[in-house]
Amino acid sequence: MVVTASSRHSGGMNPIASSKTLTRSSTDRQVGGVCGGLAHYFGIDPVVTRVGFIVTTLFTGGAGALAYLAMLVVMPSDDKHTAPSDALSI
């Protein structure tokens, strides 16, 4: 039996048809929305991701905080929440 790339990846997972994107949360945020966005993307509770970042930061000497800052810069915001200055503009 010859396994080709198309038959191997035809398990119903089409990455092009998926509308799931990794963004920072504008509604579930404590600092920058990174943990809320990761939690929404993976379908888990945001508290789990927040505790994960804290534990990672403590056990790796700050690498978790560095990773958080990198994701804060790289991940786009979901822009579901308007800023108060935008709501006041006439």
**pLDDT for res 7:** 47
Token couple for 89? 């503009």
Q: What are phi and psi of 45, to 5 degrees?
A: -75, 135
| 62 vs 14: which has the higher pLDDT | 62
Number of domains in the chain: 1
Map tokens 């978790």 to a residue: 64
Residues contacting 88, CB < 8 A, separation 6+: none
Q: Does residue 34 fall inside a structural domain?
A: yes
Residue 59 CA to chain centroid, in angstroms? 22
pLDDT-derived band at 25 (thresholds 50, 70, 90) equals confident
Q: Does residue 25 fall inside a structural domain?
A: yes
Residues contacting 3, CB < 8 A, separation 6+: none
The pLDDT tens digits of the residues spanning 34-54 come to: 999 999 999 999 999 999 999
Q: How far apart are CA 78 and CA 28, in angstroms?
A: 11
Q: Does residue 27 fall inside a structural domain?
A: yes
For 27, the domain range is 21-75
